[in-house]
Amino acid sequence: MRHPKNQPLVASPIENNQLQVATIEKHQKIICRNELVAGDDALAAVIVSHSKFVRLTKGHILINHGDNTDDIYFVLFGSARVLINSRFIDTRGAPEIIGEMAAMKPGEARSADVVVNTDVFEARIMSAKDFRDILRSYPNFNTRLAELVDNVGRKNLRLLGEKSNKPALSWTLKSAVAGIGAGIATFLGTWATELETYFYFLVSPMATVAVFVGVLLVNPDLRYRNLSSAAGFGLIAFVLYGLTSFVLTIDGREMDLPLIDFSVQTELKAGIFAIGALALLLLTYCAGLLDLRLTEAREEK
């Protein structure tokens, strides 16, 4: 993965004297939560005093692999993806740090690409020189950073090894494979039971689609979003089916179509239909709300 070198910031870094006191205090509180700072208010204040505030947008390239830049980012809001040789390795978000490797090893080129992956990304940017000065003044900070760099290095090596040996399949591809397998199995089962020919072209595709959608819904990263979408589309289909049934059967005409006959027990069937639609509506709303909260929680990490 290559990106244009020396890409300009979306907005120029903002000095502390251009920020409100409340904003600076908020930044210090967020940085205090960083595992390297470990709740040290004095250290957080020093970091803020020696850094500038930047606000970037999605897709902005923080770091290019092979660059000689050595700035460090203390993330305040949002997150960025870390890639090595175009392979996704990790996500860094608030209140984590980005770029610590280059600061620890002056003169060495950047070892990864780092790209903003949230609509808004806010951080405190600091020069490597100031960062190393702080390390010398705060031994505990230095020790914790050395441990972090070691752990991150081990993790990256492990992930790269796993990815090179076992290329991961996308969830959509997994769903497609499962659906096709179910379709083939259904086709063979239909053939073995010697059913009518049209069953081959009716049951098998239905099984393929059902299994594909079912596996897609259990994607652990998007489970609530997929559930909300499925319930929403199900609600639309259910309402259209019910309205069509009502319009075509309320007058008592016999239909060959598989519709709900509303000419018999009209009130009972309409009530059951309304309850079903309400249940799908609530499921759509609740799953969507859970997905929103899960997304917000991930961005805050």
Domains and CATH numbers, the chain: 16-165 (2.60.120.10), 171-300 (no CATH)
Q: Note whether 81 and 3 are within 8 A (CB).
A: no
- Tracing tokens 């492990």 back to the chain, one arrives at 158
- What pLDDT, on the 0 to 100 scale, is given for residue 2? 43
- What pLDDT shows up at residue 254? 66
Cα Dmax for the chain: 88
Among 72-86, 156-170, 216-230, 247-261, the minimum mean pLDDT is found in 156-170
- Over the chain, what is the mean pLDDT? 80
* d(C-alpha 113, C-alpha 116), whole Å: 10
Q: Which of 264, 268, 263, 266 is nearest to 251 (CA)?
A: 263
For residue 166, is pLDDT > 50?
A: no
Can you give the pLDDT at residue 157?
Answer: 53
How much of the chain exceeds pLDDT 70, in percent? 80
Checking if the pLDDT of 94 tops 70, the result is: yes
105-120 pLDDT, tens per residue?
777 788 889 999 999 9
Report whether pLDDT(270) > 80.
yes
pLDDT the model gives residue 18: 93
Burial (0-12, 13-18, 19+ Cβ within 10 Å), 270: middle
Supply the Cα-derived Rg of the chain in whole angstroms: 28
Q: How far is CA 295 from its chain centroid?
A: 7
In this predicted structure, the answer to whether residue 159 has a pLDDT above a threshold of 60 is no
pLDDT of 8 higher than 80: no
Which pLDDT does position 262 carry in this prediction?
A: 78
Task: Inform me whether the pLDDT recorded for 203 exceeds 90.
Answer: no
Q: Where are the beta strands (DSSP E) in 48-104?
A: 52-57, 61-63, 72-77, 79-84, 87-93, 97-98
What is the mean pLDDT of the segment spanning 49-53? 96
